[in-house]
Amino acid sequence: MLIEFDEHFDLPVERVYPYFRSPRDWTRLYGAFGEVEERGEGWYAIPLRRFPFPLVARVVRDEPNRRVAWVFGGFWRGEGEVSFVPTDRGVAVRGYERIATGGFGALSRVLEQLFLERRFRQVWASGWRRLRREAESPVTDR
C-alpha cells in the first residue's frame, strides 16, 4: 500500500521535525503505538494496537529540519520519507509511506486492501490532528 501526504501546519519546522527523527519519537505523534523496544543498530520495534506484529523500522536518512527517511523490516516491508518545506505560515510535511506485509505472497495485496490500508491511514490522520491541535494551542515560546 502507498500512503502519500502533503499536510500544512502553522508551526515552525523546529516543532514538527522532532516527531519524526527516530521511530522511538513516533509514539509522541501517533497514539496508536505501545512501548517502543530498541533492537540495536538503529532498529526499533513499535507495537501497533490491534496488530499481531510490531512495526520494525529504522531511520536511514536524517537531515534535521529538512528530511527523514526510514525502512521497515520484519513482518512489515517497505520505506517512507517526509520532507519539511517552509511555507508562509509554518511548514508543509510532504512524503509517503510504502508498506507491505511479508509472508503472504500474492495474498498480501488483498489483505492490505481489506484490513490494513484503512488502519494505517487512520494512524497518519491521528498524527496530523495532533499537530493541528499543537498549532492551535497557545505557546509562549513561539
pLDDT, average across residues 85-98: 97
- The predicted model gives 119-142 an average pLDDT of 83
With beta carbons less than 8 A apart as the criterion, state whether 11 and 17 touch: no
pLDDT at 52: 77
Domains, the chain, ordered by start:
2-136 (3.30.530.20)
Which H, E and C letters describe 32-100, residue by residue? CECCCEEEECCEEEECECCCCCCEEEEEEEEECCCEEEEEEECCEEEEEEEEEEECCCCEEEEEEEEEE
Q: Is the pTM of this model over 0.75?
A: yes
Band of residue 37 on the pLDDT scale cut at 50, 70, 90: very high
Q: Which cell goes with 122?
A: 487512520
> Average of pLDDT values for 23-43?
86
pLDDT of residue 19: 95
